[in-house]
Structure 1
Amino acid sequence: MVAMFFSEAGARPWTWEASPSEHKKWVEVFKACDEDNKGYLSREDFKVAVIMLFGYKPSKIEADFAMSSVNPNASGILLEEFLSIVRKKKEVRLHWNEIRHIFTAFDRHYRGYLTLEDFKTAFKQVAPKLSERTVLDVFREVDQDSDGLVSFRDFEYAMNYGQNEA
């Protein structure tokens, strides 16, 4: 049902590409963090690069995951691997921000949750041809715990599920 809603509402799979200036910045950060110009980032170099680009120190799990993606014959993260990791991180962050923005637009009373009335009001504005029945069906499906309220977590799950299914 959620996938049907996204289809009827004209949703498309979420895509994003880095601008040339952003790509250049990532390369510059890689070079700045590549101590001794060895051609790769060590675990510590990678952590510094994430701090420079995203403003937080990656957890041990995140660093382990990044390092596990490295070619076993390499001593660290090569530039192309780094660019791929950064692109994916940026894409996920932008997608999450987009979902948060949509949720906030629906939450006109700033309560931190959505009601059926919030859904009806929003859909009258953005998809006026959707039937009330469809809006009700979507609301019920998004309301994971059937309490009549949609939390951001419920909404985020539905948006990601819908995008993967559309």
Structure 2
Amino acid sequence: MFFSQAGARPQMWEVSPSEHKKWVEVFKACDEDNKGYLSREDFKVAVVMLFGYKPSKIEADSVMSSVDPNTSGILLEGFLNIVRQKKEVQLYWNEIRHIFTAFDRHYRGYLTLEDFTKAFRQVAPKLPERIILEVFREVDQDSDGHVSFKDFEYAMNYGQKRKQHGLDLLKEGEPL
């Protein structure tokens, strides 16, 4: 699959000192009674402050289950790691959305084979037409001739997972 070669990659970016400071300040603000850790409820408030949404019960359960049983909550270092991971996922999703929007030149909310062909002609002019068609068919999950953002996001994530596991679908030596 083409996306496994050229797809968006999860961001690995350096946290700026000001962003790091903000995260620490949020931790301290949410650490009621200066316990040195965030309880489940404290964590939820911190996520609202940093990301603008209340985490689901499943997300909160997942985070709390990763906490060291010898502590009563999320310590600062753990919190900083969680926030960093959430930020990287957010940046990755934004990158996928940006790529989709660049392909969707007519602002229809879906991509056609023509959209794919035009985009690939700009970034990989020597890519054989059959590869573009193959990629389009693979990404068009329901074979309706339209690729929704959901289909596109799935393909980008699928390609990234395959790449991480060394399972790229493009045959070696095949031109991009």
Please say whether Structure 1 and Structure 2 have the same fold, judged by a TM-score greater than 0.5.
Answer: yes
How many angstroms does 1:25 deviate by? 1.3
Q: Does 1:144 align with 2:141?
A: yes
Q: Give, in whole Å, the separation in 2 of the partners of 1:37 and 1:127.
A: 56
* C-alpha displacement of 1:145: 1.3
Are positions 1:160 and 2:157 aligned together? yes
Deviation at 1:5, TM superposition (A): 4.7
> Is the 8 Å Cα contact of residues 100 and 149 (structure 2) preserved in structure 1?
yes
Superposed, which structure 2 residues align to 1:81-160 within 5 Å? 81-160=78-157
CA distance in 1 between partners of 2:139 and 2:66 (Å): 34
- CA distance in 2 between partners of 1:105 and 1:13 (Å): 17
1:46 and 2:22 matched: no
Give me the whole-angstrom Cα distance separating, in 1, the residues matched to 2:125 and 2:75.
49
Amino acid aligned to 1:37: N
* Offset, 1:14: 2.7
Query: Aligned pair 1:24/2:21, yes or no?
Result: yes
Taking the aligned partners of 1:94 and 1:14, their CA distance within structure 2 comes to: 8
Is the contact between residue 10 and residue 88 of structure 2 (CA under 8 Å) also seen in structure 1? no
Q: CA RMSD in A?
A: 1.5
Aligned to 1:76: 73
Maintained 8 Å contact 1:33/1:41: yes
Residue 60 of structure 1 and its aligned partner are, at CA, apart by: 1.6
How far apart are residue 149 of structure 1 and its match? 1.0
**Counterpart amino acid of residue 15 in structure 1:** Q
Q: Aligned partners of 1:100 and 1:83: how far apart in 2?
A: 26
Summarize deviations over 1:32-53 as a string: whole Å, max 9, x none.
1111111100111111110110
**What is aligned with 2:10?**
14
Q: Point out where structure 2 has 5 or more consecutive residues left out of the alignment.
A: 164-176
Equivalent residue pairs, number? 162
Is the 1:34–1:41 contact (alpha carbons within 8 Å) kept by the matching residues of 2? yes
What is the CA-CA distance between 1:15 and the residue it aligns to? 2.8
Instruction: Compute the displacement of 1:12 (Å).
Output: 6.7
User: Structure 1: which 5+ runs fail to align?
Assistant: none
Tell me the TM-score normalized by structure 1: 0.91
In 2, distance between residues paired with 1:93 and 1:151? 19
